Amino acid sequence: MWRGDQGKTLVLMPFMVYSEFNSRGRVDLSEDKSIGGTPQAVAFDSANTTTNNRFVMTRLNGQWNQRFSADARFEFKFGLGESHYKSQFNQLALGSTGLLNTMQETQSFKDLSQTWNGKLTQVLSNGHQFVSGIELEGVRRSEDAVAEVADDAGNMRARTQRWALYTQDEWSINPHWSAHAGLRYESILTEGVNDEGEKRNKSGVLTPLLHAVWKPVPESRDQVRMSLTRSYKTPTLFNLVARTALSRETNSPTRPDRIGNPGLKPELATGIDVAIERYLADGGVLSANVFRRNINDLIRYVTSERYDTVWAPGQRRFVSSPQNVGDAITQGIELEAKFRLDQAWTQALPVDIRSNLSFFNSRVLDVLGGHSLDLGWQPQPQPRLHHPSHARAMGLSGF
């Protein structure tokens, strides 16, 4: 970290991971060749195996902050990363019966990634604070595989590019009320080439946000949060350009082939959240959150029966691929309590209590009977994102 004059700071954060795994084994196999109950010769075979895996990742993150005045500041972040993975499996047959073969399988991939984010914050005298920014991200992946089993072999080259613009107004209306309103546009391009040809997908999403906070007592931390958002979830690189993986076992509805789908559209969700937070005098918090999401173009893997595919001409195969299956609804309520036991019972030990009770209900509208109700409890809850500072996971990164 370097600090300069006039609010200038520079932070560099290098990171590296190295992992290596090696193992040796032995396989013994026998085959009983009895026919119709008549004893026959039994064949035996053995093989020695070795497995070697290596993973290396290096990353450099940086951040530059500069304050132009008491009311204006600029923040710039970047990240550069590279990761390598290589795996090799060797099998050396010791016999000559042919039950076990001598073979070698290898797999490797290389990922290159970069991110660039800039954000400008301007505070105005009328209680408004404007935050605007731009984001750029790119990922390149190359994968090579040589395998004895055909469905595990093949090469792939893919890349994804993303850019986004956003702006947000944070407004302190009065001592009781504050609000945030924002708009974000994001464009994502995914391209890939594998043994089956070139695949391409491009999508753009406009996502607004409206968030309000009400404090019944301005000097207190107690508050009620209300959010109306439109968020999204983009298909993964694997969803879009994954090469065909044939079923190793007999092809069936439960053992289908697997392929990607370059025509996938992003999932879009319109959501509303209402949260009540009550802070205790000696520390701790009691909160309740109610939410609902209406999801369009939900992505799920669907198995269908296909005839005369490119990889199996003249055959009827069961194939699983990601599809936009339609609309869905998810809703629920979450209750959270964090306090010290002696706050509730004077004679109790000063033990910290952290608890969460959640009810979730979801339904895919285009699937008859596709309905679920979940009841969950966990001692250390993961809080739901209902504040703009957590908007990254809700599809509003940078806010």
What is the residue whose two structure tokens read 């739901």?
384
What is the residue whose two structure tokens read 């895919």?
364
The answer to whether the beta carbons of residues 261 and 213 sit under 8 Å apart is: no
Strand partners, 346: none
pLDDT level of residue 201 (50, 70, 90 thresholds) = confident
Residue 143 half-sphere exposure toward CB, CA atoms < 13 A: 18
Output the pLDDT for position 135: 96
pLDDT level of residue 379 (50, 70, 90 thresholds) = very low
Looking at the predicted structure, is the pLDDT value of residue 345 above 50?
A: yes
Reported as a single tens digit per residue, the pLDDT across 234-264 is 888 778 877 778 887 788 888 898 888 888 8
Looking at the predicted structure, is the pLDDT value of residue 369 above 70?
A: no
**Mean pLDDT (whole number) for 298-309:** 88
The answer to whether the beta carbons of residues 21 and 51 sit under 8 Å apart is: yes
**Phi, psi for 210 (deg, rounded to 5):** -135, 125
Give Cβ neighbours of residue 137 (< 8 Å, ≥ 6 apart). 113, 114, 115, 116, 160, 161, 162, 163
Looking at the predicted structure, is the pLDDT value of residue 226 above 90?
A: yes
Looking at the predicted structure, is the pLDDT value of residue 37 above 90?
A: no
What is the sign, positive or negative, of the torsion defined by CA atoms of 212, 217, 218, 222? Answer: negative
Q: For the residues of 369-394, what is the DSSP string, one character each?
A: T-EEEEEEEESS------SGGGGGGG
Reported as a single tens digit per residue, the pLDDT across 73-89 is 999 999 999 999 999 99
* pTM confidence score: 0.70
What top-level class would CATH report for the domain 124-394?
mainly beta
**Percent of the chain residues past pLDDT 70, beyond the cut:** 86
pLDDT higher at 371 or 25 = 25
Output the pLDDT for position 376: 45
Give Cβ neighbours of residue 346 (< 8 Å, ≥ 6 apart). none
Reported as a single tens digit per residue, the pLDDT across 158-182 is 888 999 999 999 998 899 999 999 9
Looking at the predicted structure, is the pLDDT value of residue 111 above 80?
A: yes
Looking at the predicted structure, is the pLDDT value of residue 372 above 80?
A: no
pLDDT level of residue 271 (50, 70, 90 thresholds) = very high
Reported as a single tens digit per residue, the pLDDT across 318-339 is 999 999 988 999 999 999 999 9
Looking at the predicted structure, is the pLDDT value of residue 269 above 60?
A: yes
Output the pLDDT for position 234: 82
Q: CB neighbours (10 Å) of residue 264?
A: 21
Q: CB neighbours (10 Å) of residue 277?
A: 17
pLDDT level of residue 349 (50, 70, 90 thresholds) = confident
Looking at the predicted structure, is the pLDDT value of residue 300 above 70?
A: yes
Chain-wide mean pLDDT for the chain? 84
pLDDT level of residue 147 (50, 70, 90 thresholds) = low
d(CA 145, CA 298): 32
Looking at the predicted structure, is the pLDDT value of residue 229 above 80?
A: yes
Which two tokens mark 146? Answer: 């040589």
pLDDT level of residue 282 (50, 70, 90 thresholds) = confident
Output the pLDDT for position 368: 62
